Amino acid sequence: MAKQRVLSGMQSSGKLHLGNLVGALQNWVHLQDRYDCYYFIADWHALTTGYTDPSALQESVRDLLVNFLAAGIDPDKSTIFIQSKMPEHAELHLLLSMVTPLGWLERVPSYKEKQQELKDRDLSTYGFLGYPLLQTADIIMYRAHYVPVGIDQVPHLEITREIVRRFNYLYKEIFPEPEALLTEFPKVPGVDGRKMSKSYDNAIYLSDTPKEVERKLKTMTTDPARVKRTDPGDPERSPVFQLHKIFSSKQEQGEVAEGCRTAGIGCIDCKKVLIKNIFIVMEPLWKKREELLRNPDQLQEIIRKGTDKAGKTAGETMGLVRDTMGLSAY
């Protein structure tokens, strides 16, 4: 039996960090053996909010690609591509725009929320309103069954499903209704204790050097009530301990928690264990990143192959869609 299809993408608006690694990429890697996976870099989506200054876009696309591969997305198993290399997505986006009521797009919660959050940008554009529609085109182009995403993307998937139902009802049942594969993972705190995010300037980037990672972790916030080395602390109030829960063994977690509560160890001792464990995860990644960055031809080839493969499926889908919508007279 053919494997079911999974598709997911990441917007290329900045560098990837540890939160993206444990929250998404590692999960994508696991899915590769069970599903026919399509993973892509959404550079058009990056322009919906970043259109005034595209100067960092190329670099971000490269960072994402290199990190996808370094994290273990395997071009022999998965189809890896870049959105803007697939003009079919733009065509499908256009055709979907014919059947999508404006109100559906205006009601997606992220529409108003992002406008509030990014008040300094003019997001009263057609492209930004169409963000979830473009995302819909990305997904249904490959007639994907599952879309691994975080909880924040669920409203986007809801509108995708609505549009699919409408399309299938108006014309012909071409598209399966995709389902979210919710990725459950612990919240990854940044070095200031808030959620790790590029907009908070608190992230540990996959492209950081070992020295930078060490420095960031050494100065990371701990239990604010533990001022002196001799004060006992509460590990549950320390973001460092939250990272231990993700990266350290149960035994180490027990040891640092006990040491913290009894003031048996200092914060630096606790962080040393964490640094060791984060390095265990990052070292192979750093090695692979370096290798890949030394081989631009190899990256080019991977993208060429992925674009070809994605193009085949996209071509089939667009054939069906054009037929269905009366666009194949000649």
Q: Do the beta carbons of residue 83 and residue 137 sit within 8 Å?
A: no
Of the candidate spans 135-143, 224-232, 291-299, 303-311, the one that interacts with ligand TRP by CB under 6 A turns out to be 135-143
Catalytic, 228? Answer no
CB of 44 to ligand TRP, least distance (A): 9
CB of 138 to ligand TRP, least distance (A): 4
100 binds ligand TRP (CB under 6 A): no
Q: Counting every residue, how long is the chain?
A: 330
Question: Which of 45, 89, 244, 271 contacts ligand TRP by CB under 6 A?
Answer: 45
CB of 15 to ligand TRP, least distance (A): 14
Alpha helices in 131-248 (DSSP H): 131-140, 154-170, 210-218, 239-247
What CA–CA distance (Å, rounded) separates 86 from 137? 11
DSSP 17: B
CB of 137 to ligand TRP, least distance (A): 9
Could you write out the DSSP letters of every residue in 73-135? --TTTSEEEEGGG-HHHHHHHHHHHHH--HHHHHT-HHHHHHHHHTTTS---SHHHHTHHHHH
Dihedral, CA of residue 153, residue 162, residue 179 and residue 94, to nearest 10: -70
153 dihedral zone (left: phi>0; alpha: psi -120 to 50; beta): alpha
Of the residues 3, 15, 77, 114, which is catalytic?
114
By Cβ distance, which residue is nearest to ligand TRP?
9
| End-to-end Cα distance, the chain | 35
42 binds ligand TRP (CB under 6 A): yes
25 binds ligand TRP (CB under 6 A): no
What CA–CA distance (Å, rounded) separates 139 from 148? 11
Q: Which CB, 139 or 282, lies closer to ligand TRP?
A: 139
CA 114, 192, 272, 233 torsion-angle sign: negative
Question: Which of 6, 82, 139, 303 contacts ligand TRP by CB under 6 A?
Answer: 139
Of the residues 77, 198, 305, 309, which is catalytic?
198
163 binds ligand TRP (CB under 6 A): no
Q: Which CB, 110 or 242, lies closer to ligand TRP?
A: 110
CB of 83 to ligand TRP, least distance (A): 7
Catalytic, 195? Answer yes
Of the residues 77, 85, 195, 309, which is catalytic?
195
Of the candidate spans 91-99, 132-140, 195-203, 286-294, the one that interacts with ligand TRP by CB under 6 A turns out to be 132-140
Q: List the catalytic residues.
A: 114, 195, 198
Using CB under 6 A as the criterion, which residues of the chain lie in contact with ligand TRP when the complex forms? 7-11, 42, 45, 135, 138-139, 147, 149, 153
